[in-house]
Amino acid sequence: MNKYYYYLLLTLVIASCASKPRKANEAEYDSKLNTFREVISSKEPEPLPIVTKTIISIDSLYTKQLYTFKDSISRMNPRDLQNGIKTEWVGTVNFNLRKPNFIIIHHTAQDSLQQTIRTFSLTRTQVSAHYIVADNGTVVQMLNDYLRAWHAGKGSWGRDTDINSSSIGIELDNNGNEPFSEAQITSLMALLSKLQKQYGIPAQNIIGHSDIAPTRKSDPSALFPWKTLAENGFGIWADDTLAPTPEGFNPELALRIIGYDTKNLSAAIKAFKLHYIQSDTTPTLDEKTVNMIYNIYKKI
């Protein structure tokens, strides 16, 4: 009998010791979670070089949506699996917020900054972006960088088929038929510099909407200065002199390696040329286009 009580006491001591680290973990988990709540809830404007700081009002729908997500990431309830097993919750202390790895550039195809803000503020439109850059260089942020905007739609880049979940969307106030202003591009590069430094986004991961959705989109237009951006470290560009392609080079395979979806090869070629050639956006795969594909492929 004494032996039985000894083992019972030993079991209780072990259980007690095991629960203390778990309680400490849960406390640290909750503390870190509260910190991240503050990060994703922040609506403070941040100054950028050569950019007018703009404050916009955030409607109650934004706040309501934000609290929905704050509640969901705090849930620690067990869940039933299909095999009848219930999941058990044990909080880890080793975590942080997921960070964006791509920046997708768009033009708004609308007539003004205010019109775009209104479009992104209506529930029925089901479209949004993290930032809008106006023609005069003003920058408006509409969503925290860590949250998922609805700007990319159905598209892919390489093996990534959910671009909205891995990217920041930047809309340029431009109807698609006009040149982009110097003030707008200057502000865009200031914003890109901040985002690239903050999240470690590779230069080659700064791409356009048409790159990720070649069958549906053609923005930003052929007037967008991709070369200027690349010269400043935001994107990649071809060498001034294009080397001839080696024998046996497969441009379709190279396009896929770069990131393009080539299921519709003509659309992929047009999207590539819209980004890297611009003076010719036809689906023709001529010698210049093949050489350009080879040059960009080598830089990936």
Residue positions annotated with a catalytic role:
171
* Secondary structure string (H, E, C) spanning 77-109: CCCECCCCCECCCCCCCCCCCCCCCEEEEEECC
Backbone angles phi, psi at 165, to 5 degrees: -80, -15
**CA atoms of 4 and 283, how far apart (whole Å):** 82
Q: How many helices, marked H, and strands, marked E, lie in the chain?
A: 9, 5
How many CB atoms within 10 Å of residue 198? 12
Backbone angles phi, psi at 208, to 5 degrees: -105, 165
For 118-196, list the strands marked E by DSSP. Answer: 131-133, 139-141, 167-172
Using alpha carbons, select from 141, 177, 146 the residue that is nearest to residue 54: 141
Contacts of 182 (CB under 8 A, 6+ apart): none
Using alpha carbons, select from 77, 72, 61 the residue that is nearest to residue 36: 72
Question: Helix axis angle, 251-258 relative to 287-299, nearest 10°?
Answer: 40
Q: Distance from CA of residue 205 to its chain's centroid?
A: 9
Contact 153, 213 (CB under 8 A): yes
**CA atoms of 82 and 172, how far apart (whole Å):** 46
